[in-house]
Amino acid sequence: EVQLVESGGGLVQPGRSLRLSCAASGFTFDDYAMHWVRQAPGKGLEWVSGINWKSDSIGYADSVKGRFTISRDNAKNSLSLEMNSLRPEDTALYYCVKDSTPQLWSIGGMDVWGQGTTVTVSS
């Protein structure tokens, strides 16, 4: 069974840092690009960041560029999101998402979603 399990969320003060992790199983991790997508409470979806299969193509939403860093470890089947200088508007449920292709800009879409980990930024 294809599975994505996020961890690392929690309550953090503005300006502080947090690192999210995603453990992947049930598929060949290094065959696919991966993403982080977030959803603020009661709101819609926002793409945060994506990384291709070999980490040489990376993208970020303007709202997190320069503060967040995505990375992956294909040997450990894991995806990470390092979040610095957190703001209250970063409060959301963060989903780890598998792409259906190895690259960020190929036809197919994001086809498997984890259940998410909640990040709350508040003093």
Partner 1 sequence: EIVLTQSPGTLSLSPGERATLSCRASDSFSSSYLVWYQQKPGQAPRLLIYAASRRATGIPDRFSGSGSGTDFTLTISRLEPEDFATYYCHQYAYSPRTFGQGTKVEIK
Where along the sequence are the contacts to partner 1 (CB under 8 A)?
44-47, 50, 59-62, 95, 100, 104-105, 107-111, 113-116
Task: Please list, in sequence order, all residues whose beta carbon lies within 8 angstroms of the beta carbon of residue 40, skipping any fewer than 6 positions away.
Answer: 46, 89, 91, 92, 93
Which CB atom, from 47 or from 82, has the smaller least distance to partner 1? 47
- Taking the complex as a whole, the smallest distance from the CB of residue 105 to partner 1 amounts, in Å, to 7
Instruction: Give one DSSP letter per residue of 7-63, joined into a string.
Output: E--EEE-TT--EEEEEEEESS-GGGS-EEEEEE-TTS-EEEEEEE-TTSS-EEE-TT
Which CB atom, from 14 or from 105, has the smaller least distance to partner 1? 105
- Taking the complex as a whole, the smallest distance from the CB of residue 46 to partner 1 amounts, in Å, to 7
**Chain-centre distance of CA 78, in angstroms?**
11
- Taking the complex as a whole, the smallest distance from the CB of residue 48 to partner 1 amounts, in Å, to 9
Which CB atom, from 50 or from 80, has the smaller least distance to partner 1? 50
Residue 111 — φ and ψ, nearest 5°? Answer: -110, -10
- Taking the complex as a whole, the smallest distance from the CB of residue 121 to partner 1 amounts, in Å, to 21
